[in-house]
A and B are shown apart, each in its own frame.
Chain A
Amino acid sequence: MENLIALLIAAPLLGAAVLLCGGRRLDAVGHWLGTLLAGLSFVLGVVLFTDMLGKAAGQRAVTQHLFSWIPVAGFQADVTFRLDQLSMTFVLLITGVGSLIHLYSVGYMEHDERRRRFFGYLNLFLAAMLLLVLADNYLLLYVGWEGVGLASYLLIGFWQHKPSAATAAKKAFLVNRVGDMGLSIAIMLMFTTFGTFAFVPVLHSADSAGEGKLTAIGLMLLLAACGKSAQVPLQSWLGDAMEGPTPVSALIHAATMVTAGVYLIVRSGAIFNAAPDAQLVVTVVGAVTLLFGAIVGCAKDDIKKALAGSTMSQIGYMVLAAGLGPIGYIFAIMHLVTHGFFKAGLFLGAGSVMHGMNDEVDMRRYGGLRTYMPVTFVTFGLGYLAIIGFPGLSGFFSKDKIIEAAFAKGGAEGWILGGAALLGAAITAYYMTRVMIMTFFGEKRWQPDEQGNEPHPHESPGVMTIPMIVLAVGSVFAGGFFSIGDRFVHWLEPVTGHAEGNSPVSAMTVTVATLVLLVVGAGIAYAQYGRRPVLAVAPRGSLLTRAARRDLLQDDFNHVVLVRGGEHLTRSLVYVDHTLVDGVVNGTAASVGGLSGRLRRLQNGFARSYAVSMFGGAAVLVALTLLMRAV
């Protein structure tokens, strides 16, 4: 049965190869082929899942050795896949959500000439992402890591004719590079410390290595996670990544790829457990990012960018939970899965809205859409309720657990982290309510564009609404399904381990506090946007609003610190290069040239001059001979 693991990756990889190399003759069927292969991968995942359920909890992890990649003495790199409960969770999420989004894209990209290529990229992404989560060692994981980076780059810049999309793709790629550097350094450190980079030996012997080394590895892994998961300080690319087609935003930049960082941290849990300093940094990064993303999400008028800020914030929750250690790992993954459902659903809803509104993204041009696109309204609304943590829906269960775990960290840290998580929940309620109201309620605010085409909002075709409905069902029931009887905890416990935290506040208190803050946040948003008409042009707003509109000045910060700093560094390096290095080189050349110029005069072509030197040499020889005799 474990031989099917490779097929999981092979199916979408084959799709990518066929679609990207097949040429125009596949234009007619390419999208269905891609969707079919994604679905095949999902079916295989389900088959493996049922197989896994049939085994005892301890024997569920299976491996498949495909071939030896780099068989060198002292350096063994294998292409081996490892399917355990953690990977299985991801496989189902990736292939399931991936298949739905493939299906959705069939409708969404219907009028795009390069649809076949788009599906090729999507399949490529699926293959790379599956490789990432199925890898049995860090090196193979790195291959998948780079593969999803490539797919992300290609898909963000899919509409490459738009300079903004091309720039955004480049930005994402560059920022991800920084994180990738961290991952490669972490792998090298692992190799020098443990002599291998396969998960099992590394994680089992993690305790034996020194804490300093583990902290270093952990921080480098965190850097990698920050790059891939858009965490502070490498968060700047995610907002711009919304330049890509909306299904891409849903699949890659909401549900799956951006959660790879969380996967990495949870997978490397043994290392972080033994390095508390690194864990602390992880929680701090998570807490900062969840507030950061939430604040940015509040100020954006672009629906996708608001959702992007929300994604950042939700992943911040996951990273925070992952940083809490065994008390948080499982909840991080649980939130990841539920988030995968509702955020993908929200993005698909946003895409549906844009699809009906002539690709308008400004929420100030929406309004009152609930009557025009009821299915979208309902599914989006369910996703909305899930993300803000409405009782009984997915987000309620997973987010609540994270907040509880944050308090359970204990001490001042616990209070600070828990407080941040609570505050984040309130802000989440605020910005999501804002999105909801601005999009679906109130008066219609759209206007004809420059060509005089007034948008005619309409419901999307079935091929798009079906995935939205499925995801909405997931958003509603997944959390409850996972939580009843702690199913998800028991499922993942053999892989990640689990510990119950001692929270200083009771679970009920946390739940009540969350709900109160939820109501407060949603109420403020209703007061601001529901009671009053939404202005067509954004008001100037407070200093914080203006900063948040500019992504809390992250780009300005990067520009001032990194770009300017880099420019100055380069300029000074160029100066040093010109004066010092070139000076030495040119000086040497000039002095050699000058010396040669003088020596050249000796080489004047006159035989008599040469004869003089010969004769002088002979005289010197005679003198030396006499001197030697004398001595």
Chain B
Amino acid sequence: MNPVNYLYLAALLFTIGATGVLIRRNAIVVFMCIELMLNACNLAFVTFSRMHGNLDGQIIAFFTMVVAAAEVVVGLAIIVSLFRTRHSASVDDASLMKL
């Protein structure tokens, strides 16, 4: 098996995650989909690391994880405060525009 298959898998997961972001209304699920996308990227980085025979890809993946952790902390805080004020976790409810 060629390791490129990992990249295909990463691309597929990324696309699924992105589509999920677009389709789902629940802010928490949207967040999860973003995490999925980040993880797909990480998989690609790890695969690249293996392909190129150095550890830089893994370092990037590591940093991605850290950033993802920070993002989750802030994002979930936002969701919680949003839920407190709007009593809903739907991202569509945050729209105040008239149509």
- Chain A residues with CB under 8 Å of chain B are 601, 603-608, 611-612, 615
Helix, strand, loop or mixed for chain A's interface? Answer: helix
Find the A residue at minimum CB distance from B91: A607
CA distance A239 to B22 in the complex (A): 86
Which residue of B21, B94, B95, B96 is within 8 Å of A611 (Cβ)?
Answer: B21
22 CB-based A-B contacts, threshold 8 Å? A604-B95, A604-B97, A605-B94, A605-B95, A605-B96, A605-B97, A606-B91, A606-B92, A606-B95, A607-B91, A607-B92, A607-B94, A607-B95, A608-B21, A608-B23, A608-B25, A608-B91, A608-B92, A611-B22, A612-B22, A615-B18, A615-B21
Nearest-neighbour CB distance to chain A for B81, whole angstroms, equals: 16
CA distance A604 to B91 in the complex (A): 13
Known: A605-B97, A615-B22; 9 extra A-B contacts, CB below 8 A, are A604-B95, A604-B97, A604-B99, A605-B94, A606-B95, A607-B91, A607-B92, A607-B94, A608-B25
Interface size class of B (residues with CB under 8 A): 10 to 19
Contact count A vs B, C-beta below 8 Å: 28
Nearest-neighbour CB distance to chain A for B40, whole angstroms, equals: 14
Find the A residue at minimum CB distance from B19: A615
Residues of B within 8 A of A605 (CB): 94-97
Residues of A within 8 A of B94 (CB): 605, 607
Residues of B within 8 A of A601 (CB): 99
- Chain B residues with CB under 8 Å of chain A are 18, 21-23, 25, 91-92, 94-97, 99
Residues of A within 8 A of B99 (CB): 601, 604
Find the B residue at minimum CB distance from A607: B91
CA distance A519 to B31 in the complex (A): 118
Residues of A within 8 A of B97 (CB): 603-605
CA distance A607 to B96 in the complex (A): 11
Residues of B within 8 A of A612 (CB): 22
Find the A residue at minimum CB distance from B95: A605
Nearest-neighbour CB distance to chain B for A183, whole angstroms, equals: 63
Find the B residue at minimum CB distance from A618: B18
Residues of B within 8 A of A606 (CB): 91-92, 95
Residues of A within 8 A of B91 (CB): 606-608
Nearest 6 A-B pairs (CB), nearest first? A605-B95, A605-B97, A607-B91, A606-B95, A612-B22, A606-B92
Residues of B within 8 A of A608 (CB): 21-23, 25, 91-92
CA distance A605 to B96 in the complex (A): 7
Residues of B within 8 A of A611 (CB): 21-22
Nearest-neighbour CB distance to chain A for B72, whole angstroms, equals: 18
Find the A residue at minimum CB distance from B99: A604
Residues of B within 8 A of A607 (CB): 91-92, 94-95
